[in-house]
Amino acid sequence: MTTAEEETKAATSEVEKPATSTAPEPVEAASFEVAPAVSGEAPGTEKASAEDKPLEKPEEKPEEPVQETPQRETEAATQEAAKETEPSARFSPVNLEDAQAAQAPIAPTEKLAMEEASKFGRIDEEGRVFVKDGEEEREVGQYPEGVPENPFALYVRRFLDLQAQVDLAGARMPSLKAGDIDATLKSLDTALESPMAVGDLAGLRSRVAKLHEQGKARKEALAKEREVAKAKALEARTKIVETAEKIAAQDPARTQWKQSGERLRGLLDSWKEAQRKGPHLDRATEDALWKRFSAARTSFDRHRKAFFSQLDAKRAEVKTKKEALIKRAEELSGSTDWSKTSQAYRDLMSEWKAAGRASRKEDDALWERFRAAQQGFFDARGEANAKTDSEEHENLAVKEKLLEQAKALLPIKDLDSAKAAFRNLLDKWDEAGRVPRGDMQRLENGLRSVEEAISKAEKDLWNKTNPETKARAEGLVGQLEEKIAEIEKEISEAKAAKQDTKNLEEDLAARKSWLDQARKTAAE
């Protein structure tokens, strides 16, 4: 068996038994842990896996290049074993050329980033790996049994992972909550304390420091948003309470109990919704508002019970009064004194209206009884009136002639003669008797117009000859003129203050009209 085959067999056995592996591996000053990713994609604790073990190369012999193939097979076997034994490992210590052969090709941007980060590392003749961390140099690992072709690959990849976490945290900072901000920044701070990585760690820490500033600003903005939301929630809750208190403070006599009760239930639902979905108020404030809200609801219920209790008592009293009115109406239903009894029924109707209302069902039943008692009387009166219709029509003709004679007295030229003639017509008018109801008002109005004309003529004559009336008229003129001057002044002041002057102007017009009339009276 050749030396290469022996090494391949030994490497395979090492893969099968990683605990007894003798392959060279970098010795680190401390274990390396990667901070949990902000996206929830936690890489977990990263430790050097079987892939991180630098392979021992066989002695190079130009005349035997075939020995390189077993070495590559050994490296591939070691990588596969590492994936099976440590599935959480994310870093590979192999050099870039070997990674291109055994794994997916490295993107140009990643290769450039690795080359840039490698500028911050160095390795000494003993295989120790150092990183320039700010102003100091710190050991991050060692290859005691041989240095691989690209010794910084493992450590640079660690740095790039840290850098990716910082990038992701910066991208998501504007949308994180306060607790997530603290957890993310704490995780990044822990990961960057003394990472076993090679790269611009100082620059990365500087970026994390800026993230701290951004996080602080973000938390302050969130705090302000919470305060604004709490202020709006407090305003909304207070409005609910004030509305409930306003409903509870209504005059019970004017309250629409059904609508008001529905509004209170709606306010209670709004309170529960705000409590369930809105920002939480501090306990003392919420308790104080709830006590006011509860007190308003209790007051409303107490007023409602008292109102309906009083209403029931009042309805019972109304029922008693209306039953007494029904009894009186039934006693009058057999009367034939049409005029007196009709007036009595009108009086009973006035008392009925003034008595108020019982419950709807009872009030309807009481009204039917009351109307039936009246109807009996009015039906009897109607039958009696039908017998007198012919007589009333004869009387109508007489009164039509008397009304024509009365109207002939107008216009009044001789007051004494007109008064004497009108008294004579009134005596005949009364003797003529009743007329049909439909014509009664028309005739009465016609006769009254003549009577009013005679009264006015008599009054005008008296006013013209009464010195006291004339003096009063002159005094009234002075009073009206003073009042008109005051009103005009008030109108001017109101217009200057841009106030409504409609009522004042109407009052002014009325008083000017009175003044004109008073001046005419004084002149006469």
Q: Count other Cβ atoms within 10 Å, centred on residue 497.
A: 8
Q: Phi and psi for 88 in degrees, rounded to 5?
A: -85, -10
pLDDT at 109: 67
Who's near 185: CB < 8 A, 6+ residues apart?
Answer: 169, 208, 211, 212, 215
Residue 361 identity (one-letter amino acid): K
Supply the DSSP symbol for 278: S
Contact 142, 126 (CB under 8 A): yes
Q: What's the token pair of residue 40?
A: 């929830």
CA-to-CA distance for 467 and 393, rounded, in angstroms?
Answer: 50
Nearest to 359 by CA among 300, 313, 301: 313
Contact 188, 169 (CB under 8 A): yes
State the burial class of residue 188 (Cβ atoms within 10 Å of its Cβ: 0-12, 13-18, 19+).
buried
Q: What's the token pair of residue 66?
A: 């075939």
pLDDT at 135: 85
Helices (H) and strands (E) in the chain, counts: 16, 3
pLDDT at 66: 35
Report the run of H or E that residue 362 belongs to, with start and end.
helix 360-387
CA-to-CA distance for 180 and 191, rounded, in angstroms?
Answer: 16
Nearest to 429 by CA among 417, 442, 444: 444
Q: How many residues does the chain have?
A: 524
Tell which phi-psi region holds residue 279, choosing left (phi > 0), alpha (psi between -120 and 50) or beta.
Answer: beta
For 41-78, b/e burial (b = at least 16 CB within 10 A) is: eebeebebbbbbbbbbebeeeeeeeebeebbeebbbbb
18 alpha-carbon distance from chain centroid: 67
Nearest to 159 by CA among 48, 36, 32, 26: 32
Contact 62, 220 (CB under 8 A): no
* Model pTM score: 0.39
| pLDDT digits (tens), the chain, 524 positions | 433 344 333 333 333 333 333 333 444 433 333 333 333 333 333 333 333 333 333 333 333 333 333 334 333 433 443 333 333 333 333 333 433 333 345 567 667 777 777 788 888 888 889 998 888 889 989 888 888 878 888 888 888 999 999 999 999 988 888 889 999 999 999 998 889 998 889 889 999 999 999 899 888 888 888 888 888 888 889 999 999 999 999 988 888 989 999 999 999 999 999 888 888 888 999 899 999 999 999 999 998 898 888 888 888 888 888 888 888 888 888 788 878 888 888 888 888 888 888 788 888 888 888 888 888 888 888 877 777 777 878 888 888 888 888 888 888 888 788 888 888 888 888 888 888 888 888 888 888 888 888 888 888 777 666 666 666 666 677 777 888 888 888 888 888 888 888 887 888 888 788 877 777 766 65
Contact 71, 10 (CB under 8 A): no
* Neighbour order of strands in the sheet with 121-123: 121-123, 128-133, 136-142
Alpha-carbon dihedral sign for residues 60, 65, 70, 72: positive
Supply the DSSP symbol for 198: -
Tell which phi-psi region holds residue 504, choosing left (phi > 0), alpha (psi between -120 and 50) or beta.
Answer: alpha
Residue 511 identity (one-letter amino acid): R
> What string of H, E and C letters represents the secondary structure of 87-107?
CCCCCCCCCHHHHHHHCCCCC
CA-to-CA distance for 521 and 469, rounded, in angstroms?
Answer: 9
